[in-house]
Amino acid sequence: MKQNPTRTHLYEQVARIGKALSSSKRLEIIELLAQGEQTVDVLAQRCGINIRLASAHLRALREARLVDSSREGKFIRYRLSGPDIAQLWLTLRGTAEEHLVELRVALEQMATQPDALLSESRESLLAKARSGELVVIDVRPGDEFAAGHLPHARSMPLEELEQRIADLPPGKEIVAYCRGPFCLMSDEAVRLLRARGFSASKISDGVTEWSTNGMPLDR
């Protein structure tokens, strides 16, 4: 049967998205950009790659129209081209978790560590944070917190946490969060807090998971 060139073209256009997402580092960049706009040097540093490679990944994402950019003085700032791109990442990650046993095992191992996930609903967590019953800390870098964070959360970047532990009220449950279930900064924060005698746990939500489930964000 003769292949219809128009039909082939349609599939090829959709395949551009798949090709752009076929790199683990590009997925990591998308997750980082879901936290807020960032420059290439910041993305490179947070992904643990050099600027040239980060630029190449951003170029591939831009060609697929997944990422936009704008100039701010001497710097170019990158952002997701729409909120649907963050949702696409969550859908892809959820599909992988549903079908890849290796991913499920890795996530289950993370959940059984001493810094286990807090067993609270989002609504309950929000109510307790509002009333002061517990303290929510955002251990991401400060620029990501400024772009959007959970209501009533305090910005305590992981690299500053040890020096700022005295700012936390003793005797209160401390709940840490970072960029989502693949992010390990909240695990490190919980280990540090518990070593200093605090009752601490974490949630797997980042701002993307939180807002996608209909919960409010502060900016």
Q: Which residues are catalytic?
A: 178
**CA 103, CA 117: separation in Å to the nearest integer?**
17
DSSP 3-state of 176: strand
**CA 154, CA 176: separation in Å to the nearest integer?**
10
Residue type, 83: P
Which string of DSSP letters, residue by residue, matches 29-90? HHHHHTT--EEHHHHHHHHTS-HHHHHHHHHHHHHTTSEEEEEETTEEEEEESSHHHHHHHH
**CA 20, CA 61: separation in Å to the nearest integer?**
6
Q: Is 65 left (phi over 0), alpha (psi -120 to 50) or beta?
A: left
Nearest to 121 by CA among 217, 203, 208, 218: 203
CB 205 within 8 Å of CB 122? yes
